Structures are given as C-alpha cells and as structure tokens.
Amino acid sequence: MSEIHDPASVAHPTPRIDGEDKLTGRARYTTDWQVSGMLHGYPVPATIAHGVLGALELDEARAMPGVVDILHHRHFPRLKRSPNSMKHGDQVSEVRLPFEDERIYYHGQYIALVVAETFAQARAAALRVRARYRREHDVRPGLLASDAEGETVDHYSRGDPDSAFAAAAVTHDATYAIAPESHVPLEPHVTLAEWRDAEHLIVHESTQGVFYERNALARIFEMPAERVEVIAHYIGSGFGNKLFMWPHAVATAAAARLLGRPVKTVLPRQQDMMNGGHRPASRQRLRLAADRDGRLLAIRHDSTSETSLIDRHVDACGGATPSAYACDNVATVQRLLAVNHGTPCPMRAPGEVSGIFALECAMDELALALDMDPLALRRRNYADRDPQRDLPWSSKQLDVCLESAAARFGWAARDPRIGAMREGDEIIGYGMAAATWFAGRQHCQARVEIRADGTLLAACGTQDIGTGTYTIVAQAVAELTGVPVASIAVRLGETGLPAGPLSGGSMTTATVLPAVAAATRDALDALRDVAVGPGSHFAGHDPASLEVAQGALMAEGKRSGFAEILARHRLGSVSGQGSAAPGGERRQYSFRSFGAHFVEVRWDPGISRLRVARVVSSIDVGRAVNPLAARNQVEGAIVMGIGMGLLERLDYDPRDARLINANLADYRVPVHADMPDVDVELLDYPDFRFNEFGARGIGEIGLTGIAPAIANAVHHATGKRIRELPITIESLLDSH
Ligand code: MOS
C-alpha cells in the first residue's frame, strides 16, 4: 500500500461527473426506464393490521380497462424464500414472500398485485379490489403505545456498574423515546423486471445493493446467480431502506415471468412508507454515575426497539456507548418488541443515531446536575483509546472537532442560565453534542481500461446512491494516472461488472477506492509491458522503470502519452483488474469517525415558534476524497437531523396499528423555511492506517448528535427537558 500524501485530484473539491446528466435528464433512474411491451404493476395493501385474508372480490377490477392479470395468494407461483444471510450476500428486508399465505401481519401488507397496460389503469383497478378479512383483535400497537419491554437479544458489559452506581456522588437516570421515522427517499422503491427466454432475469431496481438483490432473486427463483442481472445506474437516494430487497420486487419479477412481458412496479408514496421500511421506534433508559469532578464512573444503557411480527430487525441503540467515553463500568442491553407494523430496517446511522440521542442528552443533564459546562464534561471523559476493545484509535481528532466547532460557534459566550439569552421576542438556546460512527471496509473488485481514444474507463458493480461514488472513482483513477477527471468514464451499478459492496454503513468509499487503485495500477502495468515492446519509445527499458505522469509514461527524459503508446501498437485498449479487502489492521486499531455539533435554537413563546437558527459542525472522517460531496453529505444529514429532532414521526393509530400519515402532506420533513445557517468544517487528518487514501466514510456520521444538540439547546432556551423525539410545539406548551 502506497499512501497518497500529496494528492493532485483526491481531496480536491470536484463537481460531480454525473451532474450534467442529472441536470439534463440524460441520467436514467429506474422509474424512468421504459422497455417495449412493458406492463405496470400496482400493489393492493391490506386494510387491517392483524388477521386472515378471506375472499378477494376481483371481478370488478378485472373488468377495468387495460387490466392483464391480478396476482394474489391463490394465483402466484410457488417460490422459495431467500436464506436471508448478510454474510452470504442474500439478505432481504422482509423474508416472507409476497402472497405466501393468507395471514396479515401489518396494515398495508400486499394482498394482490394488479398488472395493467398503463400505470393509471393498474392504479384504478387496484382501487376496485375488494377484500374480506377475519380480523384478529390482539393487535400489538407500537412500542411507544405499550409498556412491554420485549425480549433481550444482545448485551455488553465491562467492569462492575452496580457497585459504581452504589458508590457514586452524582447519578442520572432517565428514559428517552424516539418515534418511528420514514426514510422518504425522493425516488420511491421501484422494480422493472424482464425475463429473456424464461431463463434469464434482468431487474432494474432502485437499490443500494445490486449483488444482494441478484443473489436473493437467484435463491427465490431457484436459478444460478449468473442468470440474474440487477441494474441500478442512478438511484434517487436510499438511506438504508434500499439496502435489501422488499417483496414488491419478488411480486414484480414473478408477474413478468407469468405474463411473459416486462413489468414495472413503482410504489406509491403511501406504500413506500408502509411497506418499504422505516426507522423503528425505540425506548431507552440511560443511567450515568459520576464523581463530583464529572468523571464518569458507570454507564447503563438499556434499549428496546420495534420489529415486525415476521422479521427480527434489531436497531442496536447501544452500539456506540461502550466506546464513547473513558469509563470503566459500562453495561448495555438491547431488547426487541414485535408489533403489527411493516418490517423496519436500517436508517442512516441505524441504532447508534438513536443511542447517541439518549447518551448525549444524558450527558447534558449530568453536566447540569454537576453545574459543569457540557463541553467540559465531554473533555473530562475523553477516551484516548478505545475502551471497548482496549486498542488505540487509528486516528481520533474529536478534541480538535470540539475545540474548533466551539470556537466558530462562539460557545464561550453562552450564558448557562436557562432562558437568559434573548434577542427581540426570541429566547436563544445553545446546545452541543458529540458525533461518532464506525469506519468499516469490505471486499471489492474493479476493472480499469486505458483506451486508445485517450480516455480511461473504470468499472465496479457497486452503485452510486446519489452520494457521489461516480466522481470519487474518477478522482482515484485521475490521482494515479494524471489523466483529468473529465477524461475518465465510470460504470457502476450492474451485477455484470466486478463485484462491489452495498452502498451502506458509510463503507463505500473506503471499500471501493483501494480496489479501483489496484485495478488502475494493474492497467498501468499492462501499458508498461506494451510500451517496452519492439518499435516503441521505450524498447529495451525495464517496464518497472517507467514512471507515470499526466497521462503519459516517462523514462530518462522521454515521454509518451497513453494513447500514443496504444496507437503505435494498434491496440484499442489495455485493461487491469484489481481487488482489495481489509487486512490485519482491525486487530491493531479501532476505526471510528468523530465530530461535534453546536446548535442554536430560537424559541418565540409569543407565537410558539421553535426553530433551529444555526448549526456549526466539525467532522473528522480522515480525508474527504471529494470535499464538495462530503460537505453535502453532512449538510444533508443536518437537515435530516432537524427532521428527526423537531418534525418527523410516523403515526400509527393506537387502536388498530394503522399508519395514518403515510403521505408527504401529513408526514413532515424539513423544508427550505426550516433551514438554519450551516457551517460545516471537514478536518483533514488522513487515516492511512485504514487505506492508502486515508478516507473513512461520511454518509452517516453527520446525523449522529444533531437531535441531542437540538434537545439540549431547547432545554437551555426553555428549561424543558424533552426526552421524546420529535420535540413538538405541544410538548413545550405543557405546564411546567
Ligand atoms: Mo445505511 S442505513 O447502511 O444506508
């Protein structure tokens, strides 16, 4: 591994290479794809949350214009389930197959798929499907509407928390709750399935994992994986709900095979929100013990998250707690409660973002109890090495983040008295929280071609979910070849390309770029071999002696461009393969990213208006490969954090577990009017222990810490400690 210390393209702000295609509409998203003879599917959702499907009345729907067929539990092929293994690459979001039997587990569960000539015809007919149900009345409402604790699925402990609590001078004990949230990707779930010769299945899907979907489909349809191709060139974002396949894709592929025509199913927003995954609700009890100086003596973090009756998705809220602070006595417990909701799934910084809300609010409350500055309390308990694994960090600049963000924010000017800072009618609150997210890497392969037309092509099967993967791949190739980014084409998002990772866990950059670098070096070696051949500029040279600069090979003052070398030898291209995987470094170091958020809220009690006015963040992710896109990730995460903090909540009717706000009129997300002034700083401490680019990953960390910083600022302004997200105006109006 050769560390890239003085990069020419990496770490330079680089406009997206796919930006123009996206602006002009040339970039085709799955929803845009049209193939000849294509039919349209529209699922029919169940209108009860628990029971058994009885008679389906389909005559009226079948008679509607354009209707070709209606699939349901008595008219659907017998398929096999996917083994649902993360390790073996066939994990799915909902393991039950569509229309598998007559049981209904949640409101919205598909009971039929109407297939028609047009989307409008399919939708109109779907509205005419009538269903009878045998309703069962033991509906399990959401976690937040129940006292149930759930079953224990995981725990961690070190030291002796009980003794530490008994001996502590100061303790804190409170319960925090987070409402379920929707991912709300701009592009909803969509599948276009096409069979060739009834032997080959081609699926276009808006997915964060083309290989996972391919493998799962191969299991379900009992085909060799080589006969299934999954394509996702452009994705209208996915925040975890597109990691693993959902039943609409299976229903669509089955319909296409049955009818011998391509079928496309675009989930309407309501079904995307009911059936396409959400962040589950969680309830967390957080207990802290400290001495008078604010040194943490013990932490107990007990969490319960929801899952559905048919899947066991665990939102591991305590994941970040054992390594967050220097503390000898720590215990976490994770519980799971099954309810009659659609299956939840990972959502941006899953588990940890919820756990950090509880932990960072609790730290603020502890600071208050100690009469200590919340920032000073974080510093006092700074973990210089990973206390969970007892290993050094590869690189941890949280102290720099805290200091830099505090200075830019003006934290020193904070008057700690509640409600003491005012401007006009508004009361100003300052709050802060730390941010963290693990840094992981996976295995990846890539291919790079050097072409006679002077361009290069880099290819990897991984997909760009909108975060800028196309661009960073081009930057990596540019870095190693000296060819400008504009002359580098990138192909992603096809299972026919070299195997690449899920776009998830903030792992894509660190996973893909080392493989691309290896493939680039291999392609350059292929070119060197050509260049020393007879009749060439470099005949007789040792190929290893040829240096690369500015798209040319050089030796002893002679220089020959890549295209010139290929032309001289009448070659169209040379190509290289590469692969990369994490090595033994994980046994030597702990890898995490860090950050600090400082938030100013303004509360106008006269008109009951609460707004986030200002966010100042410093983020340490090693090196940001493309600071433009990286900053954009953090800014987007801050907006999402404002949604989590103040607005977003999936509302289920407590009587029948029906999701009642599954639309963008009733489910509130932040809009432009909610945008604060945002100041994001990306530190630049390359983490070469992680990979040669020094890059960890940036997709998720920005969301961690925003909601607690808001809650802490709200307390500073109003004196109200709101421990339930989202923080509503109503909760601030309650009497003291
Ligand atoms: Mo992320 S929740 O791994 O898309």
Is the Cβ atom of 505 under 6 angstroms away from ligand 1? yes
Q: For residue 65, give every residue at least 6 positions away whose Cβ sits within 8 Å of its Cβ, in sequence order, or none.
A: 121, 124
Mean pLDDT of 150-159: 98
pLDDT tens string 646-660 = 999 999 998 899 999
Contact by Cβ (8 Å): 435, 705: yes
Which residue's CA is the nearest one to ligand 1's atom 3?
504
Mean pLDDT of 4-28: 96
Q: Measure 504 CA to ligand 1 centroid, in angstroms.
A: 4
**Exposure of 223 by Cβ count < 10 A (0-12 exposed, 13-18 middle, 19+ buried)?**
middle
**Exposure of 521 by Cβ count < 10 A (0-12 exposed, 13-18 middle, 19+ buried)?**
middle
Q: Which two tokens stand for residue 506?
A: 């903030």
Pocket test for ligand 1, best of 182, 235, 242, 243 (most atoms within 8 A of CB): 243
Contact by Cβ (8 Å): 107, 52: no
Q: Measure 634 CA to ligand 1 centroid, in angstroms.
A: 15
Determine the atom of ligand 1 nearest the C-alpha atom of 347: 2
Q: For residue 580, give every residue at least 6 positions away whose Cβ sits within 8 Å of its Cβ, in sequence order, or none.
A: 443, 444, 511, 514, 515, 517, 518, 691
pLDDT score of 1 more than 80? no
Is the Cβ atom of 240 under 6 angstroms away from ligand 1? yes
Q: Which two tokens stand for residue 589?
A: 């170091």
Is the Cβ atom of 344 under 6 angstroms away from ligand 1? no
Q: Measure 350 CA to ligand 1 centroid, in angstroms.
A: 7
Which residue's CA is the nearest one to ligand 1's atom 4?
240
Q: For residue 371, give every residue at least 6 positions away whose Cβ sits within 8 Å of its Cβ, in sequence order, or none.
A: none
Q: For this structure, is 700 an active site residue?
A: yes
Helices (H), 483-536: 508-531
The DSSP code sequence of 424-493 is TTEEEEEEEEEEEEE-----EEEEEEEETTS-EEEE-S----SSSHHHHHHHHHHHHH---GGGEEEE-S
Residue 535 sits at the vertex; the CA angle it makes with 533 and 537, to the nearest 5 degrees, is 80
Q: Measure 699 CA to ligand 1 centroid, in angstroms.
A: 8
pLDDT tens string 81-133 = 999 999 999 999 999 999 999 999 999 999 999 999 999 999 999 999 999 99
pLDDT at 736: 45
Q: Measure 538 CA to ligand 1 centroid, in angstroms.
A: 49
Determine the atom of ligand 1 nearest the C-alpha atom of 345: 2
pLDDT at 536: 83
Q: Measure 97 CA to ligand 1 centroid, in angstroms.
A: 23
Contact by Cβ (8 Å): 202, 196: yes
Determine the atom of ligand 1 nearest the C-alpha atom of 243: 4
pLDDT score of 672 more than 60? yes
**CA separation for the pair 611, 609 (Å, rounded):** 7
* Band of pLDDT at residue 241, cut at 50, 70 and 90: very high
**CA separation for the pair 723, 690 (Å, rounded):** 37
Is residue 336 within a helix (H) or strand (E), and if so which, with residue range? strand 329-339
The DSSP code sequence of 246-288 is -HHHHHHHHHHHHHTS-EEEE--HHHHHHHS--BPPEEEEEEE
Determine the atom of ligand 1 nearest the C-alpha atom of 350: 2
Q: Which two tokens stand for residue 353?
A: 């973002």
Q: Measure 349 CA to ligand 1 centroid, in angstroms.
A: 6
pLDDT at 708: 99
DSSP annotation of 28 = P
pLDDT tens string 155-168 = 999 999 999 999 99
pLDDT score of 419 more than 70? yes
* Band of pLDDT at residue 316, cut at 50, 70 and 90: very high
Mean pLDDT of 301-319: 97
CA dihedral sign of residues 414, 419, 422, 427: positive
**CA separation for the pair 271, 297 (Å, rounded):** 47
**CA separation for the pair 47, 108 (Å, rounded):** 6
pLDDT score of 548 more than 70? yes
Pocket test for ligand 1, best of 239, 279, 463 (most atoms within 8 A of CB): 239
Query: What percentage of the chain has pLDDT greater than the value 70?
Result: 99
Is the Cβ atom of 278 under 6 angstroms away from ligand 1? no
Is the Cβ atom of 348 under 6 angstroms away from ligand 1? yes
> Which position among 306, 600, 681, 700 bears the catalytic label?
700
pLDDT score of 360 more than 50? yes
pLDDT score of 404 more than 90? yes
Determine the atom of ligand 1 nearest the C-alpha atom of 507: 3
pLDDT at 735: 58
CA dihedral sign of residues 62, 67, 72, 75: positive
pLDDT tens string 179-227 = 999 999 999 999 999 999 889 999 999 999 999 999 999 999 999 999 9
pLDDT at 734: 66
Determine the atom of ligand 1 nearest the C-alpha atom of 699: 1
Is the Cβ atom of 631 under 6 angstroms away from ligand 1? no
Determine the atom of ligand 1 nearest the C-alpha atom of 238: 4
Is the Cβ atom of 346 under 6 angstroms away from ligand 1? yes
Is the Cβ atom of 504 under 6 angstroms away from ligand 1? yes
Q: Measure 466 CA to ligand 1 centroid, in angstroms.
A: 13
Helix (H, G, I), strand (E, B) or coil at 731: helix
pLDDT tens string 474-521 = 999 999 999 999 999 999 999 999 999 999 999 999 999 999 999 999
Q: Measure 150 CA to ligand 1 centroid, in angstroms.
A: 25
